[in-house]
Amino acid sequence: MGAQLRLLDSDGVSPFVSHNYGNVLAGAQSVPKLVFVNSYGDVAAEECEFGVEAVAGNDGYLFTEFCSANEINAVALTVTGVVGTSGGSIAAGASIQYKVAVADRWGNESEPCPSAYSPTFSAGTTNKVDLSWGAVAGAFKYVVYANANGTGYYKLGETPTNSFSDLTGANDGTTVPRGAGSVAYVEGTWQTTPIDFATLAIGAKRPVTVRENVPLGITSSGNPRQHKCYVAFLAT
């Protein structure tokens, strides 16, 4: 068993989030969890120190990295392409629209880009299309969706780069795009100083030295400004 962890605020006692990361085993990363920190009054910058508490003990793994991340989406992504008349099996006259989504290493995926690319296949039965789009900063990979002959968008494939070649025009007919508002996460800066939890007992706590600055608050205590980040752990 690894360690089940939760985040604590700077007093090291009361959790300001109740996320349980589950068993984080050696060599694996936890899925990032959304953290909100409230800033009240007119202080220009508050700081909040993160800490962790073992919910179910720890067998000695070192949690050597700690990451906060930001949202990314495909809103600004524009898909283009070049049609080739050999090397594929797409017939002339086929109707296909393409969209691309952004995905992260944890399996989270954005909704696809708003605009579709629709190539014209005008010759023969051996067409292919080489798709491309502008790279999205922080993207781990891209997921390509195709709407073939008006049957709806389904997954065509995925790629770690900002290009993809469609040789057949056939999607999987099963995997639909994520819904409106879905996002992926940029992997942030990982802390390289080891966080040695050793044999951390249930309920025991260790501070984590990463701090997050909270933006200027609003003077009304009923309307705090919220700073959010996405936090993950990696066990080694």
> How are strands ordered across the β-sheet holding 141-148?
96-103, 141-148, 153-159
What are residue 163's phi and psi, to 5 degrees? -155, 155
User: What contacts 24+ positions apart, CB below 8 Å, involve 10-19?
Assistant: 10/47, 10/48, 10/49, 10/51, 12/51, 12/205, 12/207, 15/53, 16/48
pLDDT values of the chain reduced to their tens digit, one per residue, 236 residues: 344 455 444 444 444 444 566 677 777 777 776 665 544 444 444 444 455 555 555 555 555 555 666 788 999 999 999 999 999 999 999 999 999 999 988 788 999 999 999 999 999 999 999 999 999 998 999 999 999 999 999 999 999 999 999 999 999 999 999 999 898 888 766 655 555 555 556 665 555 544 444 444 444 444 444 445 566 777 76
In contact, 3 and 201? CB cutoff 8 Å: no
What pLDDT was estimated at residue 225? 45
What pLDDT was estimated at residue 83? 97
What pLDDT was estimated at residue 191? 58
Residue 86: how many CA atoms within 13 Å on its side-chain side? Answer: 0
Scanning the structure block, which residue is given the tokens 């993207």?
139
Interatomic CA distance for residues 86 and 129, integer angstroms: 10
Interatomic CA distance for residues 12 and 8, integer angstroms: 6
pTM score, two decimals?
A: 0.69
What pLDDT was estimated at residue 16? 47
Terminal-to-terminal C-alpha distance of the chain: 13
Residue type at position 81: G
